[in-house]
Amino acid sequence: MIKNDLLLKALKGESVERPPVWMMRQAGRYLPDFMKLKEKYDFFTRCRTPELATEITVMPIRQIGPDAAILFSDILVVPQAMQVEIEMKPGVGPWVPNPIKTAKKVDEVIVPDVKEELDYVFQAIKMTKQELNDEVPLIGFAGSPWTILCYLVQGQGSKNFDKAKKFCFSEPIAAHRLLQKITDTTIAYLKEKVKAGVDAVQLFDSWGGLLEPKDYQEFSWKYMQQIITALKDEVPVIAYGKGCWFALKQMSQSGASALGVDWTCEARNARYLSGGQITLQGNFDPARLYSKPQEIRYMVHDMINAFGKDRYIANLGHGILPDIPVENARAFVDAVKEYR
């Protein structure tokens, strides 16, 4: 059905003439047209208006040409639907005016009817699918429960999310209650996204690597696995964990169709740790897009040679940075498309 089905083939482990390519945060601030919309509408207005979300999602497809679209939205729309107030503060990023610090606060967080609270997301998916006209697949996503907890407890972005860890280790029962509420909401949310038309989903565990391996099991992976188990028979799931190379073996046995890796884990190690069979996605250092286009091309070809063309999805190891020249982003995508 979908004309460019490279991503779907790679997710099934089928052989391809070249790997598919997309970039995390490909609909973002490095695109001048995105910045024009950003001047007119604040962040969550862009997320909540299906016409704007559609326009932004399709922008990189037309301007850069990756093999998949990812819906413009945010992982934080889920806790918003759970009645936690969250803003996007210019110059600060995510901002929670009343962070969750106590068990009592956790009790106030609800598991909402996602169909009602997040209807705007499902409308955006339907509109985007129409606009894409089956040219490329559409990826839906959610944050991992741990990564969402990080923002809800810390109240904003952080290098080490120390307050989030403090809460988990000093109030573990409450922390687990919160993680389970986020998990239940996320499962319902992703199932509705699938019904609305997404072709694959990615779980972003951006801060999983801040936990030591045992704590990662307890506070992150346990919940990731619940989500994967609930979704895997309906849609291919990509599990991305930044800094989570130590968990690749377990992730490879989870039912996920692909695993995202960051640039600190070499292709060879990622293949070894994940057992050599599962599709891997990644792992170009986003800062390497500051290199000259010709150098980007060489490095991308090296990356594909290292991972192999099959069971592989070319991507960055984390989101694209806001000040990357558009031509460098295009060089990254073109380099994969030129690969023979």
Binding ligand CP3 (rule: CB under 6 A), the pick from 10, 11, 75, 244 is: 75
Q: In what order do the strands lie in the sheet with 258-260?
A: 69-70, 138-143, 200-205, 237-241, 258-260, 279-284, 312-316
Pattern 89-108, ligand CP3, x by CB under 6 A: ----xx--------------
Binding ligand CP3 (rule: CB under 6 A), the pick from 21, 26, 178, 198 is: 26
Contact segment (CB under 6 A) with ligand CP3 among 88-96, 128-136, 224-232, 260-268 equals 88-96
Q: Taking CB under 6 A as the rule, does residue 70 contact ligand CP3?
A: yes
Give whole-number Cα distances, 11 to 88, 158, 218, 233, 277, in Å. Answer: 33, 33, 27, 13, 12
**Which is it for strands 237-241 and 258-260: parallel, antiparallel or unpaired?**
parallel
Q: How many residues sit close enough to ligand CP3 to count as binding (CB under 6 A)?
A: 25
Contact segment (CB under 6 A) with ligand CP3 among 87-95, 118-126, 224-232, 299-307 equals 87-95
Pattern 126-145, ligand CP3, x by CB under 6 A: ---------------x-x--
Q: What does residue 84 show for φ and ψ, rounded to 5 degrees?
A: -95, 130
Helices (H), the chain: 6-12, 32-40, 43-48, 50-63, 77-81, 103-108, 114-117, 119-132, 145-154, 162-170, 172-196, 213-216, 222-231, 248-252, 267-273, 293-307, 326-338
Binding ligand CP3 (rule: CB under 6 A), the pick from 38, 101, 301, 309 is: 38
Contact segment (CB under 6 A) with ligand CP3 among 70-78, 109-117, 176-184, 273-281 equals 70-78
Q: Taking CB under 6 A as the rule, does residue 122 contact ligand CP3?
A: no
Q: Known binder of ligand: residue 312?
A: no
Q: Known binder of ligand: residue 74?
A: yes
Q: Taking CB under 6 A as the rule, does residue 69 contact ligand CP3?
A: no
Q: Known binder of ligand: residue 73?
A: no
222-251: which residues touch ligand CP3 (CB under 6 A)? none
Q: Known binder of ligand: residue 107?
A: no
Q: Taking CB under 6 A as the rule, does residue 157 contact ligand CP3?
A: yes
In the complex with ligand CP3, the residue whose CB is nearer, 13 or 93, is 93
Sign of CA dihedral 111, 112, 115, 118: negative
Give whole-number Cα distances, 298 to 60, 293, 309, in Å. Answer: 23, 9, 15
In the complex with ligand CP3, the residue whose CB is nearer, 39 or 116, is 39
Binding ligand CP3 (rule: CB under 6 A), the pick from 72, 161, 221, 223 is: 72
In the complex with ligand CP3, the residue whose CB is nearer, 73 or 80, is 73
- Cβ proximity of 283 and 261 under 8 Å: yes
Ramachandran class of 112: left when φ > 0, alpha when ψ lies in -120 to 50, beta otherwise: beta
Three-state DSSP string of 271-329 = HHHCCCCCEEEEEECHHHHHCCHHHHHHHHHHHHHHHCCCCEEEEECCCCCCCCCHHHH
Q: Taking CB under 6 A as the rule, does residue 29 contact ligand CP3?
A: yes
Could you give the CA distance from residue 31 to residue 51 in angstroms, rounded to a whole number? 18
Binding ligand CP3 (rule: CB under 6 A), the pick from 8, 58, 68, 76 is: 76
Could you give the CA distance from residue 23 to residue 296 in angstroms, rounded to a whole number? 14
Q: Note the residues at the interface with ligand CP3 (CB under 6 A).
A: 24-29, 38, 43, 70, 72-76, 88, 93-94, 141, 143, 147, 157, 204, 206, 318-319
Binding site feature residues: 25-29, 44, 74, 151, 206, 318
Binding site feature residues for substrate: 25-29, 44, 74, 151, 206, 318
